[in-house]
């Protein structure tokens, strides 16, 4: 018998090789109906997994990330099965679950069409109705290779060849369809009640542009139709909020053929950008940060010393100066450390907080570029903090508090992840354990709920990531706090301690916006282009009814400009209804209508973007109202 400790702390005993689904049925038939996967000792596993020793067990439903993983993984197999029925010559590549749904890559003779998607959906419905049991089996490595070779699956053959240490390999079977797969999967195809194939895209095999271009089909699925309907509604809302579309309509930015991945900011976009940067500077000055600026191009030797040459070279741009190799910086940190080294520091100088709005360049594949969200040059709101070991927890808490303050100003909710050591990391186990513990203690002292993201840290240290949730429920990774014991060693950073001896400082890398460009894209979609007054490129639009009202409109315009309120006047000879509609389309927060009554009474007729007609108001009263709203950064 083995002991199973459940999430509520209760302990049950079962015979060896009892499966998780059998345990679920024993606990409750209702649990067995909704359980999609299991979490055994912290690892997500298939619901059919047999237990062979004492374990801690948590059952996962669609409400859990692990449950969604199994559900969407099964959905991608249903799609692949449908494709193999309709296109018998297809070659299967890979088909994972992703953050929102699933995809599968196919090698087919011709590109898929929207009509093909309809046919595939129809075949998927048959497979779901047939309610196949999903069976897992393993084969010795040679037999596994023979099976995929017999089926002509050239991509699966390559995958097996690249797994030299695996003695046996896992497969999943449903009906006539079998796929090389580690799982997890749900018990039957019939549990996928609602799905939709969303789009077709090209994708290079294994993400390498030198490999063959495959056809990728994206999809989404849910246990209930109402959940699918809600998701599709959010998707439509997301299309309306697409920052690329709004960027054109509101004249914020453009991407030109002459610079793919390199955004051009227009005057309206620059107002938003400068407003955010001014806000960033004021908040950081209040928090005790000093601002620096480091060069964009630096010598190869620096990047070798930092480790970027070995760990990040494929994402960098290079040039030659006076016969020596240089790199365009993909990160700000090495330059920041050179600034630290320009003078000797005492323990009395620490903590030292240095911030930089630094322009970096990173090579992204053309297929990955996406408006302001994925670009090849962007400005990081970086900061590097240097401290004594006993100051680490207090400094990380300070960053958490500053990050929380800034996100709250924009109305963002967020969740936090603690990312641990990746495979290609530098440094000793002792340093990594110490760094992870320091981040964990800071989060727990602040009472911040967090989840562990195993193996997703930077190559030089663990990190805390902040994932923002926007107004339609999407999440965006923005802020990060990375604790680093490696770079101070590589750059020989020191300070003189109270004992008169040299010591190595601890170092923290952190961002809050993450990237100014991407943050503007996120804000544009979060607010659907209707920016709060303090960010809005044009805060007030004055709409005179006729030419005789122009002089009064100009007088009001000058009053607003004097008080640094961003204002524009629509002097065109158009009907007032047309002018209001256009200002509304431009998402101007306030419209002021000027006619005979307003000129005679020396007042304004005020209209709000969100509330409509607000009646008449004195000029000074509106100025006070607007300035108060700007100062308080209301959203």
Rounded-to-integer distance, Cα 208 and Cα 368, Å: 12
Residue 137 tokens read as 């089996």
Residues whose CB falls within 8 Å of the CB of residue 368, separated by 6 or more in sequence, listed in order? 374
- CA–CA separation, 170 and 139 (whole Å): 7
* CA distances for 568 relative to 141, 195, 273, 590, 610, angstroms: 71, 48, 19, 11, 19
Ordered strands of the 317-321 beta sheet: 297-299, 324-328, 317-321
Spatial distance between the Cα atoms of 240 and 296, rounded to a whole number of angstroms: 36
Give CA separation, 488 vs 39, 353, 493, in Å: 39, 15, 5
Q: Is 370 a catalytic residue?
A: no
Q: Which of 91, 362, 376, 474 is catalytic?
A: 362
Q: For tokens 């306030």, what's the residue? A: 590
Known active-site residue 384: yes
Beta bridge partners of 133: 188
Catalytic residue, candidates 48, 185, 308, 463? 463
Active-site annotation holder among 81, 215, 380, 482: 380
Q: Which of 384, 421, 526, 541 is catalytic?
A: 384
Is 463 a known active-site residue?
yes
In DSSP notation, 226-284 reads HHHHHHHHHHHHHHHH-HHHHHHHTT-EE--TTSTT-PEEPHHHHHHHHHHHHHHHHHH
Close Cβ partners of 80 (under 8 Å, ≥ 6 residues apart)? 92, 95, 104, 106, 177, 179
Told to judge if 333 belongs to the known catalytic residues of this protein, a careful annotator would answer yes
Check if the beta carbon of residue 93 is closer than 8 Å to that of residue 105: yes
Question: One of 376, 509, 510, 579 is an active-site residue; which one?
Answer: 509
Residue 509: active-site member: yes
Catalytic positions: 333, 362, 380, 382, 384, 463, 509
């Amino acid at each position: 018998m083995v002991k199973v400790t459940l999430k509520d702390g209760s302990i049950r005993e079962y015979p060896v090789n009892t499966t998780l689904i059998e345990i679920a049925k024993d606990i409750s038939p209702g649990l067995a109906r909704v359980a999609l996967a299991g979490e055994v000792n912290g690892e997500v596993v298939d619901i059919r997994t047999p237990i062979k020793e004492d374990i801690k067990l948590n059952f996962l439903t669609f409400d859990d990330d692990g449950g969604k993983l199994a559900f969407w993984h099964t959905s991608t197999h249903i799609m692949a099965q449908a494709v193999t029925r309709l296109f018998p010559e297809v070659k299967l590549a890979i088909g994972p679950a992703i953050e929102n749904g699933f995809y599968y890559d196919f090698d087919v003779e011709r590109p898929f069409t929207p009509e093909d998607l309809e046919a595939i959906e129809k075949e998927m419905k048959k497979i779901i109705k047939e309610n196949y049991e999903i069976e897992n089996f393993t084969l010795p490595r040679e037999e596994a290779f023979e099976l995929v070779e017999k089926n002509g699956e050239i991509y699966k053959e390559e995958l097996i060849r690249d797994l030299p240490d695996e003695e046996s390999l896992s497969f999943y079977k449903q009906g006539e369809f079998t796929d090389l797969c580690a799982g997890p999967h749900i018990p039957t195809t019939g549990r996928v009640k609602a799905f939709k194939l969303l789009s077709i895209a090209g994708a290079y095999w294994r993400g390498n542009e030198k490999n063959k271009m495959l056809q990728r089909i994206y999809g989404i699925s849910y246990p209930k139709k109402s959940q699918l309907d809600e998701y599709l509604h959010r998707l439509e809302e997301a299309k309306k909020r697409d920052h690329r579309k709004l960027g054109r309509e509101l004249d914020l930015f453009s991407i030109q053929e002459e610079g793919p991945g390199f955004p051009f900011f227009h005057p309206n976009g620059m107002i938003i950008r400068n407003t955010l940067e001014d806000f960033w500077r004021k908040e950081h000055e209040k928090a005790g940060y000093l601002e620096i600026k480091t060069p964009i191009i630096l010598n190869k030797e620096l990047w070798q010393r930092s480790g970027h040459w070995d760990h990040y070279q494929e994402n960098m741009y290079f040039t030659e100066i006076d016969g020596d190799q240089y790199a365009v910086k993909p990160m700000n940190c090495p330059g920041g450390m050179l600034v630290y080294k320009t003078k000797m520091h005492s323990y009395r100088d620490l903590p030292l907080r240095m911030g930089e709005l630094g322009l970096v360049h990173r090579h992204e594949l053309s297929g990955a570029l996406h408006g302001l969200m994925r670009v090849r040059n962007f400005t990081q709101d970086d900061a590097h903090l240097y401290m004594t070991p006993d100051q680490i927890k207090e400094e990380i808490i300070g960053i958490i508090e500053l990050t929380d303050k800034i996100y709250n100003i924009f109305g963002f909710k967020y969740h936090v992840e603690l990312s641990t050591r990746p495979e290609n990391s530098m440094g000793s186990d002792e340093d990594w354990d110490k760094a992870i513990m320091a981040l964990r203690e800071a989060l727990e002292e602040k009472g911040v709920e967090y989840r562990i993201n195993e193996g997703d840290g930077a190559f030089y240290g663990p990190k805390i990531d902040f994932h923002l949730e926007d107004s339609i429920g999407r999440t965006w990774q923005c802020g990060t706090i990375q604790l680093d014991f490696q770079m101070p060693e590589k750059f020989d950073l020191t300070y003189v301690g109270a004992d008169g001896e040299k010591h190595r400082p601890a170092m923290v890398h952190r961002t809050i916006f993450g990237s100014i460009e991407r943050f503007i894209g996120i804000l544009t979609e979060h607010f659907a282009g209707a920016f709060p007054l303090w960010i809005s490129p044009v805060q007030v639009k004055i709409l005179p009814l006729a030419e005789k009202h122009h002089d009064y409109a100009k007088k009001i315009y000058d009053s607003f400009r004097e008080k640094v309120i961003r204002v524009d006047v629509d002097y065109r000879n158009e009907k007032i209804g047309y002018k209001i509609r256009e200002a509304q389309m431009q998402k101007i927060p306030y419209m002021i209508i000027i006619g005979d009554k307003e000129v005679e009474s020396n007042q304004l007729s005020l209209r709000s973007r969100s509330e409509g007609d607000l009646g008449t108001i004195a000029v000074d009263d509106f100025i006070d109202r607007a300035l108060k709203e700007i100062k308080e950064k209301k959203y």
